[in-house]
Amino acid sequence: MASARAALLVVAAVAAVAAVAAVAAVVGVGGCKGKSSPSPIVFGKTCEPFGVAAGLATKMPVTAARPLAAVNAKSLGTVEWSNNDAFMSTVLTSDSYAVRFRNGGVSEIQILVAGRKLDDLVAAWGPGTPTSKVTGRDRLFYRDGSKTTRCEVSTVVDALSIRFLPMVPLSTYLGDGPTLTFLGVRLLGQPVPEIEKSLTALGVTVDATATEHSISSLPVTDGGNAPYIELTPGPDGAAAKIRITYAIETEPAKAELLARLAAKFGPPTTRDGATFYAIEGHDARFTISAELAKLTIL
């Protein structure tokens, strides 16, 4: 199970590309209708939805998002609701929109802008932060002024793809002080059911077997996809093994993670070629690759 979870972030990134292409096929962006002419759309403020999605926000309740989208569509296009979890809309300019819901709120807003490139958005929003090429595409990250939404921008076929996702800054995941916490929830020495109860209250998903519990479906960070936790209960029910995996997709995110770990737990040590942090009397092994960082306590 651990090996499957280790590939979760890359699989999610690949799935996101497929989802964007599927939306493009549905609405005809860059498809058999021929190459789209550049959209006259105005991008608006950095990392804020525009067009039919103007005024929408990540985590907005579905009860507020539905009527707002309907009002926008009266002048900008049409809205087609598939169910209470998602809607698709097509505007007169051939741009397309998808809004997805989870736990009664907006979990993702995706906009495909016909005939535009990354340079067009950079001219409006600024340079953004380049990401590693997990899927072989050039991508840029942006975040809004309140640091609650992250935008991932790339090109798909003949359209510019912009995904708005709820975000939790990496610093919030790590927390302050020398204890090992995750979104403010203490992990070491705590019963696994209590950890899960505290985190599921935040809308995460728990996948449990007899020997391992995985916690996922967390918000993305400002520098990567969503982290996840693997917990192995000991005989007393407390977490005997803890592994936290962070996606690190930008150089600033990598630098911030290393700086915050050192500030919380002190400088790491190296033994037999491996890196360790001393955390609350435990040796925590740390590994980092081009896109993933793992902190493991046995």
Mean pLDDT of the residues in the chain? 79
Helices (H), the chain: 2-6, 8-27, 62-76, 118-125, 170-174, 192-200, 251-265
Tokens (6 digits) for 112? 């495909």
Higher pLDDT: 28 or 155? It is: 155
* pLDDT more than 70, % of the chain: 77
Whether pLDDT at 252 is above 80:
yes
- pLDDT bin (cut points 50, 70, 90) of residue 22 is very low
Higher pLDDT: 14 or 152? It is: 152
Whether pLDDT at 102 is above 60:
yes
CB 108 within 8 A of CB 99: yes
d(CA 21, CA 287): 34
User: What pLDDT score was predicted for residue 138?
Assistant: 77
**Tokens 């939805």 sit at which residue?**
49
Whether pLDDT at 6 is above 50:
no
Whether pLDDT at 134 is above 60:
no
Whether pLDDT at 39 is above 50:
yes
* pLDDT more than 90, % of the chain: 31
Whether pLDDT at 163 is above 90:
yes
Residue ranges of domains in the chain: 2-166, 170-297
Segment of 22-31, 208-217, 228-237 carrying the highest mean pLDDT = 228-237
What average pLDDT does this structure show over 287-294?
A: 89
> DSSP readout, 49-89?
--GGGTT--TT-BHHHHHHHHHHHHHHHEEEEEEETTEEEE
d(CA 86, CA 80): 9
CB 185 within 8 A of CB 175: no
Which strands sit side by side in the sheet containing 140-143, from one edge to the other?
77-83, 86-91, 96-102, 105-114, 159-166, 149-156, 140-143, 129-130
CB 217 within 8 A of CB 204: yes
User: What pLDDT score was predicted for residue 161?
Assistant: 92
